[in-house]
Copies of this chain bind each other. A is one copy, B any other.
Amino acid sequence: MSIDLIIHSANQVLTLTGDAPKRGANQGELSIIRSGAIAIAGEEIIAVGDTLDLLALADTRTRKIDARGKIVLPGFVDAHTHAVFAGNRANEFEMRLQGASYLDIQKAGGGIMSTVRATRTALIDDLVEQARARLDAMLAHGTTTAEVKTGYGLDTANELKMLNAIATLNANHAMDIVPTFLGAHVVPEEFKGREDAYVDLVVNEMLPTMTNYKHLHRTQVQVLQITNSSLVTRHSPLFCDTFCDDGAFTLLQTRRILTRAKELGFGLRVHADEFANLGAATLAAELGAASADHLMVTRRDEMRAMAQANVVAVLLPGTTFGLGKKDFADGRAFVEENVPVALGSDINPGTCWCESMPFIIALACRYEKLTPAEAIVAATINAAASLGIANQVGSLAPGKLADALIADVPDYRHLAYRFGANPIETVIKRGKIATRMNADERG
């Protein structure tokens, strides 16, 4: 087989071998190859190893990139995003600086509902174009795969519109996207006082409709004349997520929604314990959810239940930072309790407009007490595991997708040690150079 690309002479290649999520003390295992290289053919990694061994595989048409003094690692997997939305909420940001709480803003008719109103009136093309700029920035910061949620439509037609925007981006953007249906993001204003009627709508109409998503996706794709392959259609299930918290959905409502979703074949995720502990982490363990996310106020016994049930803890420190809060999720406790920990940006217009996984890593080390190695594991293989695609992405191994990053730092710890700027110099997505920057062009 002819090798298309060899990245060689890296100070460190972080392979993160294996397809399983990593837990506890073993999270330190980045499986580093010094003076390492990776060889790529088409969209796949062909070999990972010593530079001299791999350079021997090159032929005349092999492109070579010298990564001397730098590190190579798997593309980041962002386990939790709301990257598709219309408009912005810079106004509310200022309100919040002046003391208004998330729930205050929501009760005042702002918050999520203002994004819902903007998203409902947006055309699908607008949603796609506005999200594309964010995906571009995410890709430039090393995110090669991201989960993206619906949840700003909150009626069947607009949730489908969001899902189609997500599918369109997945088909047209270099990044691979795993979609999640989040019809139960918040009760929309027109259902105020009739919350259970909205849950009925989610359970009885939206969920069954979304199970036709693959069909709809196929037909939409044909209409849009999208021809390239996509991770969604090939590999990943559609996930269902529910925001279980004060001001969102009760534990009982969450149970109804997720139980029905499971019956219909959805993978499960849950927004758990962001503000109040309503028991959602335990529910996630009981239902065998792929992930529970946020987890700001989760108890140790709930962590142990998650560990037992293989529920990945998706921590979202960007949101805590975005809100200017000082109490972050206790990442160390999840590691101690043997829960596999993943990271997500949670990019969204209300609390966290952040495209940078390197920043999330820097934050998780300082305020959630992960080690740099644990944070890198959390941003790659464990995030992939939470999305059910750890056999395809999240580590550098033969047969996996050639999603790899060159970072212009001499050692993996610099990804967390430095912050605020973008350490990622080159992004390889499915074997193609997606972005490449000189130092003075880099953000």
Contact = CB atoms under 8 A, between A and B. Distances in A.
A94 B372 contact: yes
A90 interface: yes
A426 to B, nearest CB: 12
A420 B439 CA distance: 17
Given A140-B442, A441-B441, A324 B366 contact: yes
A365 B97 contact: yes
Given A140-B441, A414-B90, A419 B359 contact: yes
Interface stretch (A131-139, A160-168, A188-196): A131-139
A414 B353 CA distance: 9
B326 A420 contact: no
Contacts of A91: 413
A93 B420 contact: no
A419 B354 contact: yes
Interface residues of A, number: 52
Question: Interface centre among A89, A354, A418, by most B CB within 10 Å?
Answer: A418
A269 interface: no
A275 interface: no
Interface string A419-438: 11110100000000001010
A19 B365 CA distance: 41
B356 A322 contact: no
User: What is the copy number of this chain in the assembly?
Assistant: 2
A421 B88 contact: no
Contact of A88 (B140, B141, B324, B414): B414
A433 to B, nearest CB: 12
Contacts of A435: 440-441
Contact of A421 (B354, B366, B417): B354
A322 B419 contact: yes
A346 to B, nearest CB: 11
A78 interface: no
Interface in A123-174: 133, 136-137, 139-141
B359 A420 contact: yes
A135 to B, nearest CB: 9
B90 A411 contact: yes
Interface in A347-361: 353-356, 358-360
A26 to B, nearest CB: 17
A324 B367 contact: yes
B413 A90 contact: yes
A369 interface: yes
Given A141-B420, A321-B419, 18 more contacts: A88-B410, A88-B417, A97-B371, A97-B372, A133-B439, A137-B421, A318-B420, A321-B366, A322-B419, A324-B367, A354-B420, A356-B420, A359-B420, A420-B420, A421-B422, A422-B443, A435-B441, A437-B441
Interface of A: 88-91, 93-94, 97, 133, 136-137, 139-141, 318, 321-324, 326, 345, 353-356, 358-360, 365-367, 369, 371-372, 410-411, 413-414, 416-422, 424, 435, 437, 439-443
7 contacts: A97-B365, A137-B421, A322-B366, A353-B419, A421-B443, A422-B422, A437-B441
